[in-house]
Amino acid sequence: MDLILFLTFAIIAVVCALSMALQRHPVASALSLIGVMVSLAVLYVLLGAEFIAAAQLVVYSGAIMVLFIFVIMLLNAGAEKMTHKAGLAEFLGIPLLLLFLAFSTWVITNATPAGKMIKFGNFTGGGPREVGWELFTRYVLPFEVTSILILIAIAGAVRLANRELD
């Protein structure tokens, strides 16, 4: 059952990712990205990380992508046209992509210790309580630094918007 679900949503995620890159229309690309994020959320649930899955749904597909779609609709961006391709990309594009795939596969297989397979259902500490506890004890410094970073970004955005208004 776990394997069937994993394969289904992994395939959906990959197909949506390809569709995001290949679609001509910005709205279609954005929707494909939402498909990727939702299937990733399902994969998180399968791994036992329920809170991360819910956060993925609420934050990425619920809030950030709505803003993306909002901006695309506001600008009323139409379908993009294919211009002449860059010469380098035409010859080296696909070989470089394959090379990159091979390299990342090699890195991942070497980075994980041999004989230690991760099974679905092995991991259970993915509830909100456990995640919150870890965030505010072991990872409290990165957590606070990230919030300050976001605060700086907000202040910058307000400053830029104010200058436009003046």
What residues between 13 and 42 interact with another protein by CB under 8 A?
A: 27, 31, 34
Window 104-143: contact mask with another protein (x via CB under 8 A):
-----------------------xx---------------
* Residue among 70 and 100 whose Cβ is closer to another protein: 70
State how far the Cα of 59 lies from the Cα of 65, in Å rounded to an integer.
9
Q: How far is CA 65 from each of CA 34, 36, 161, 164, rounded to the nearest angstrom? A: 7, 12, 21, 25
Among 14, 70, 96, 142, binds another protein (CB under 8 A): 70
Helices and strands counted in the chain (H then E): 7, 0
Select from 4-12, 52-60, 81-89, 149-157 the region that touches another protein (CB under 8 A). 52-60
User: Rounded to the nearest whole angstrom, what is the least distance from the CB of residue 113 to another protein in the complex?
Assistant: 31
At a CB cut-off of 8 Å and minimum separation 6, what does 136 contact? 143
Query: Which of 34, 56, 48, 51 has its CA nearest to residue 2?
Result: 48
Residues that bind another protein in the complex, under the rule CB under 8 A: 27, 31, 34, 50-51, 53-55, 57-58, 61-63, 66-67, 69-70, 73-74, 76, 127-128
